[in-house]
Amino acid sequence: MTHALIVIDVQNDFCPGGALAVSGGDEIVAPINSLMDEFEAVILTQDWHPAEHSSFASSHPGKNPFDMTQMPYGPQVLWPDHCVQGTQGAAFHVDLRTDADLILRKGFRGSIDSYSAFFENDQKTPTGLKGYLETRGIEKLTLVGLATDFCVHFSAVDAAKLGFDVTVRQDACRAIDLDGSLDAAIQAMRDAGVTLA
């Protein structure tokens, strides 16, 4: 059984000093780098938003970052502008190893956000990652990265629903923890059958 490491969104905007900084986001770079050689495949995901993305609070007059809004696909947190295509904020952390088998960009459709590495937030539009993993014969996944309670959580739950054997290495993740989102994410991952290590 081939085992892949999926590194979620270790980008400048999610690290200290970034537009949507996760506390301690840069602390996981060295542990992730040292894990990479233990896996048959390494996949990096990269949040890659067009300017004026619909999930940005700046695209909704009168709304502030972290407000909730209704999108055609359901409730959506509005974020500060972050990981805009081609900007320094969207780049991987300078110390992160990028010698990966695949770099998967997500969130590039202007009208829909994408937390999961497998589906857009409508839970229907696939990113293509499932097909890639199946073609490679990969059945076992270990997830690390940012942020535990959003992109790592949604990716892990979707992977488990798709039938992959999924582990999240909590020591190599960091969370935003917005209004109890970390506890809710941990419960959702457990309920989906994800191993939390």
Q: With 90 as the cut, is the pLDDT of residue 104 above it?
A: yes
* pLDDT in the model for residue 54: 96
Q: State the pTM of this model.
A: 0.96
106 is catalytic: yes
151 is catalytic: yes
Q: Catalytic pick from 15, 26, 113, 151?
A: 151
**For the residues 97-106, what does the mean pLDDT come to?**
97
* pLDDT in the model for residue 1: 65
171 is catalytic: no
Tens of pLDDT, residue by residue over 35-76, are 999 999 999 999 999 999 999 999 999 999 999 999 999 999
Q: Catalytic pick from 106, 113, 149, 173?
A: 106
Q: Which H, E and C letters describe 50-86, residue by residue?
A: CCCCCCEHHHCCCCCCCCEEEECCEEEECECCCCECC
Q: Catalytic pick from 9, 113, 149, 158?
A: 9
